[in-house]
Amino acid sequence: MKRRDFSLAAASIGVAPFVAGTAAQAQTAFKAGTDYALLKKPAPVDAPAGKVEVIEFFSYNCPHCAQFEPTLEAWIKKLPPHVAFRRVPVAFVGNDVETKQRLYYTLEALGKVDDFQLKIFEAIHQQRQALFGDAAVLDWATKQPGLDGAKFAEMFKSFSVAGKVKRATQLQNDYQVGGVPALGVAGRYYVDGELAHSLERALQITDFLVGEARKA
């Protein structure tokens, strides 16, 4: 979802796969300013030397992120060893954005993102559970098999998680994220569904940008 008006058609998952001849031919058509944005000022990266960092900017409150998640997870599984992938929850979409940011970073600290990322999207957008605000999230955590409610609550309220939330919001601004889901590459490139015209094509562009970053 965009910070302002979001066009569902522009970022639809349900569009036909992008076809422009071979993959190599398709990649030659990807242009800065048209298919992706080149940042004027590089954003900080956490990836170690020799790795290309790819970031997904997302929100648990975003229905488009929920639709995108299964496709993204399948893509992540095929990433080559030289790609370092991470997620960054944004500080917009909904009225409890910090709560949702802390939810993500708590799961990350507990090593539970892979177990619960898709489940949270399903709980909010398919099961219509009211995971809104701190109290609701903490109550949800106590009922989840595989989560220690007390440890979750302690981490959720911790300074370390608060610090990660602050850095996430700064990184969102560094990349000038205009809507989610969106992808940042190597602190230099940005693409979302609106720029790419579909989220499937956004992943193709991201693959291309990873290759460009390795050449630099």
Alpha carbons 198 and 216: distance in angstroms, whole number = 27
Give the pLDDT of residue 4. 43
Which sequence spans correspond to the domains of the chain?
19-215
Give the pLDDT of residue 29. 76
What torsion, rounded to 10 degrees, do the Cα atoms 103, 105, 110, 113 define? 80
pTM above 0.85, yes or no: yes
Closest C-alpha to 70, from 107, 117, 18: 117
pLDDT profile of the chain (216 residues), mean per 10: 43 35 55 96 95 98 97 97 98 96 98 98 96 97 97 98 98 97 98 96 97 93
At the topology level, CATH places domain 19-215 in: Glutaredoxin (3.40.30)
